[in-house]
Structure 1
Amino acid sequence: MSPVSVGNSQSEQTLRLSWPDGSESVLDHAELRRQCPCSQCRAFRLRGLTPLVDERVRLIEINPQGYGVQLVFSDGHQRGIYPWQYLAQLTS
């Protein structure tokens, strides 16, 4: 299930997703960066480590990929493609 709208707030540092069922997800930029699903970040978390992410990191670009979005962060990280289902699970 893909959202009906995607909004990025630089001032609030949040990504806001509105879902077809009327629910809404609000995700913090720094937490999104910590939960990056790329292979490098996942391997880091699987070893029990928490990625160090500056709380000031911003989501600067959103690139649609059909089944999700590639998120580009102000720290230069852009390897992760976040499936819609994964983003929905991050808020549950």
Structure 2
Amino acid sequence: MDAPSTLRNSRSEARLFLEWADGGRREISHARLRGACPCSQCKAARLRGAIGVVDHDVRLERIALQGYGVQLVFSDGHERGIYPWEYLRELGSAALCS
């Protein structure tokens, strides 16, 4: 899957907004992104049922492009997950944009 044509992080709204050339639009809360981290440690924790509650105040601090996706750095210090574009598209809810 191609990278989105638009990628915007809103700290004030605590949401990541993505838009693809085909018209697909998604928005994902920072807490949802953090809770769905695809790194091996977070995946293993989810499989063991040992996941903690993500603080609703967690914020996405930095985005590092990785070609097939993005590495996200959160305010709680977590920065291990690389989120592929297709995963973000599936994870997000369709944005209602006027």
**Category of TM-score, reference length = shorter chain:** over 0.9
**Number of matched pairs:** 92
Percent pairwise identity: 60
Q: Give the 5 Å matches for 1:4-43.
A: 4-43=5-44
**Alignment gaps of 5+ in structure 1:** none
CA contact (8 A) 1:41 1:51 kept: no
Q: Return the TM-score normalized by structure 2.
A: 0.88
How many Å apart are 1:51 and its aligned residue? 3.0
Q: Return the TM-score normalized by structure 1.
A: 0.94
Runs of 4+ in 1 over 4 A off after TM superposition: none
How many Å apart are 1:39 and its aligned residue? 0.3
More relative contact order in 1 or in 2 (CA 8 Å, sep 6+)? 2
**Alignment gaps of 5+ in structure 2:** 94-98
Match of 2:96 in 1: none
Cα deviations across residues 28-78 of structure 1 (Å, max 9, x unaligned)? 000100000000000011123433211000000000000000000000000
RMSD, aligned CA: 1.1
